[in-house]
Amino acid sequence: MKIVVIGGTGLIGSKLVSKLREHGHEVVAAAPSTGVNTITGEGLAEALKAASVVVDVSNSPDWEDSAVLKFFETSTRNLLTQEADAGVGHHVALSVVGTGRLSESGYFRGKIAQEKLITESSIPYTIVHATQFFEFLKGLADISMVSGKVHLPDVLFQPMAADDVATALSKIAVGSPANGIVEIGGPEEFRVDELVRRRLASLQDPREVIADPNALYSGAHLSERTLVPDNGARLGETRFETWLTQPAAQLPSAHPQPTSADAGAKESRKKAS
């Protein structure tokens, strides 16, 4: 089966490409650096030729509200148009748990627009809502600094290892389209401030983490369970303490691409300053 991974050189994309190739699939790692640009259309038709599945794990390179919206609308429209021409039978898109509850956020308005285009297209699809990744906990702290301290909302979330995200996507990609949303998350619930505090402690990072009820997430206020998946979510196997022993945990500054939480913390910091 030929599978095209849009954003195939990023954190999730590169892991997904490897997993799919290990199972014998023909995989195209599509990204501007490999000659495929979903915004300009460069190389897209050729990459999609004879493809059965497209998995879109790309993200906006610019977090400003209008830029995010333009990225997701332009990229998704171009993808869906070319997929229809190529006869692609399954469009898989990686999105975020809580997207529909976060329309106050410019970033998530972009994700909502992306999902709307997918659901209204003629291409069978699966939208995958994932929780935050362990790999970005330190990054979340870095961009949540206010007056020398890390300010984060003290709500629940259920983050997961990036490797588990890729594993879930690899199974969904070769399965039948859900024509709906599939949620994935980690095996444990935490409070956002609590887990970031533990991550910084594991790195011997002395910064103080403040549980701030006024801290925003991607420019939006959160309720207790906005970021938590429903009971039917598919859960990864990697627990936080296990992840801390793995090589990924030794790369605290690695930031291959922005995540929704990165964008949110940056916006929160702007509004708080």
Domains of the chain: 2-272 (3.40.50.720)
Beta-carbon count within 10 A of 28 CB: 21
- Report pLDDT digits (tens) over 162-212: 999 999 999 999 999 999 999 999 999 999 999 999 999 999 999 999 999
Q: Please give the pLDDT value at position 261.
A: 37
Q: Any idea what DSSP says for residue 257? A: S
Q: Please give the pLDDT value at position 237.
A: 97
Q: Please give the pLDDT value at position 154.
A: 94
CA distance between the termini of the chain: 51
How do 190-191 and 156-157 pair as beta strands? antiparallel
Q: Please give the pLDDT value at position 252.
A: 53
Question: Which of helix, strand or coil describes residue 150?
Answer: strand
Place of tokens 């994932």: 130
d(CA 63, CA 2): 32
Q: Which residues of the chain have pLDDT under 50?
A: 254-273
Question: Which of helix, strand or coil describes residue 198?
Answer: helix
Q: Please give the pLDDT value at position 8.
A: 97
Residue among 66, 153, 61, 75 at smallest CA distance from 106: 66
Q: Please give the pLDDT value at position 140.
A: 87
